[in-house]
Structure 1
Amino acid sequence: MSADPNRVSTALALLKHLGLSPADLTGADPRPVPTVAEYLPCVVAAASPGTRRTYGSYWRRMADGLGERRVDEVAATDLEALMRQSTAGARSRRNSRQGRHAGEHFIAAARAFYNRAIADGYLAAVDSPAHRVRKPRRLPNTRRALTADELYDINAAARSGGNDIILDALLLRLHTETACRRGGALALRLIDLDTDRALIRLREKGGTQRWQPITPTLAARLIEHAQARGAVTPTDALLRYRNGRPVSYRRYDVLWARIGRQLPWVAAQGISTHWLRHTTLTWVERHFGYGVARAYAGHTDSRGPATTTYIKADLQAVATALAALTGHPHPLAIEQQGLPRPPA
């Protein structure tokens, strides 16, 4: 039976009034939804270098296992199965936690993937399969502050062998003085070193930047090291191998593996560079309070009690804490009576 022309005209007029067309009533999406493999390059292109480094292998696992599926066809069960595979196949490291970190990182990577898909309009937030899979519960952190004797033994072991004692000693000293992360140290350039004011500019995760005090002695050693190994232009890497190439993350793995062979307790506890950050920040917090420790660490997040908004410390306060920690004067340090003595 043919439709009544008058009713059709009335319906079309009503749709026009509502800003709709007959095609809108079918629910068809004018854009085809891509497959996981097709969409992944868009996700990678929009991610920061740090995000690509952290999540890249997990995104590739998604593409290998679910690449032919449309983004909106993947189920939570599919992602949970891949998470279990990531956990079971995690590489055994000195500080491994039975694959928990691999499982946690896989779900975080999947959520980052689907956050982008949601932002691009391929599915609604409530339809994201990644957000319906629970992350593995994070176990309590086993890191702690090293004792003065432990720190001495680690530095002594680093200076007792290896193919580049000067570089290894500089790395340990840099992380002990600044409590910086590995990424911050590796990102240092010649232009980031201010020898007159004994400062380095740290560029760390989240795109944060800050000037961090270092002792004048370390500043002098760093500039000597960089220039002797070929750093010339302002953007040249500060930390370099003897052949002039910039230092990579691999150097830290080699360093701690060597120290672990000399000091079995280092290998047994999975001690790494981040333990130096814990050590320094614990000492600063105990002697100078939370505000100075927060500034020393470069923390800028607003989580926690509202009073953290007002608990701030300036560069001079951080320099004062550094001077007390190292026993070396700093040009920006505030003269104070009764400063705590540095650790032996």
Structure 2
Amino acid sequence: MTGAPTQAELDAARLVLDRMGVTAEDLLNSVKPPAPTFAEYIPVVAAAVSDGTRRAYSPYWNRVLDQWADISLSDRTPTDIQRLVQHIKANLTVRRNTRNGNSAAEHLIAALRCLYRHAVNDELVDERSNPAAKVPKPRRQPSNRRA
């Protein structure tokens, strides 16, 4: 639509809204507040999860805070998460049992899924726009234990 709506178009919109039981005020008042930043929301989720979950995910939430503290939860995309996974894998501490950072990547994605699952439950982020759910976890490597 390039110009102002015609009277017929306005009447049609009013008719549709009337049949749905929605008023113009409902549309104006339905603006949702912006999603919180990671720095605001991670402590909320950390307080809501069990001690074991907090111990497992806190290192990864801290890395998210290092990178995205002042960014809104709704401003991240699956590509941003993949980029953070690659950053974590590239900067990991190499130990004798390190397996190219696959476990770190898997745990980071699980920590973000937990965070976004709480955000969806709190209606801060729409379930369809949950970026963590769209990022696949890396495939597990076969065990290197031998008999």
Global fold match (TM > 0.5): yes
| Amino acid in structure 1 at the alignment position of 2:90 | A
Q: Partner residue of 2:92?
A: 90
Which of 111, 114, 120 aligns to 2:113? It is 111
Distance (Å, rounded) in 1 between the aligned partners of 2:25 and 2:76: 26
Is 2:10 the partner of 1:14? Answer: no
Q: How far 1:82 sits from its partner (Å)?
A: 0.9
CA distance in 1, matches of 2:117, 2:143: 28
Match of 1:134 in 2: 136
Alignment map for 1:100-249 (pairs within 5 Å): 100-143=102-145
User: Which structure 2 segments of 5+ residues have no match?
Assistant: 1-6
Distance apart, 1:24 and its partner CA: 3.1
Per the normalisation by structure 1, the TM-score is: 0.36
Match of 2:3 in 1: none
The corresponding residue for 2:81 is 79
Q: Does 1:34 align with 2:51?
A: no
The TM-score normalised by the length of structure 2 is 0.78
Output the CA distance in 2 between the equivalents of 1:83 and 1:24: 41
AA in 1 matched with 2:65: A
Which residue does the alignment assign to 1:52? 54
| CA drift at 1:36 | 1.4
Give 5+ residue unaligned stretches, structure 1: 146-344
- Moved runs in structure 1, 4+ residues, more than 4 A? none
CA RMSD, 1 decimal: 2.5
Residue 68 of structure 1 aligns to a residue in which SS?
coil
Q: What is the distance in 1 between the residues matched to 2:85 and 2:26? A: 38
What letter corresponds to residue 114 of structure 2 in structure 1? A
- CA displacement 1:315-343 (0-9 Å, x = unmatched): xxxxxxxxxxxxxxxxxxxxxxxxxxxxx
User: Residue 106 of structure 2 aligns to which amino acid in structure 1?
Assistant: E
| Displacement of 1:103 | 0.9
Matches of 1:108 and 1:64, distance apart in 2: 18
* Cα deviation 1:285-319 (Å, max 9, x = unaligned): xxxxxxxxxxxxxxxxxxxxxxxxxxxxxxxxxxx
Query: Percent identity at matched positions?
Result: 39
CA distance in 1, matches of 2:79, 2:51: 29
Q: Which has the higher helix share?
A: 2
Cα separation, partners in 2 of 1:120 and 1:67, compared to 1, 3 Å: same
d(CA) in 2 for partners of 1:42, 1:81: 25
| Structure 1 contact 100–136 (Cα < 8 Å) conserved | yes
Pairwise CA distance, 1:21: 4.3
Question: Does structure 2 retain, via aligned residues, the 8 Å contact 1:89–1:99?
Answer: no
| AA matched with 1:28 | V
Match of 2:68 among 56, 66, 69: 66
1:76 and 1:124 map into 2 onto residues whose CA distance is 14
Q: CA deviation at 1:144?
A: 5.3
What SS does the corresponding residue of 2:93 show, helix, strand or coil?
A: coil
Q: 1:66–1:74: 8 Å Cα contact kept in structure 2?
A: no
In the alignment of these two chains, the number of paired residues is: 134
Distance in structure 2 (CA, Å) of the matches to 1:61 and 1:91: 14
Verify the 8 A CA contact 1:104 1:135 in the aligned structure 2. yes
SS at match of 1:123: coil
Indicate the structure (1 or 2) with the bigger Cα radius of gyration: 1
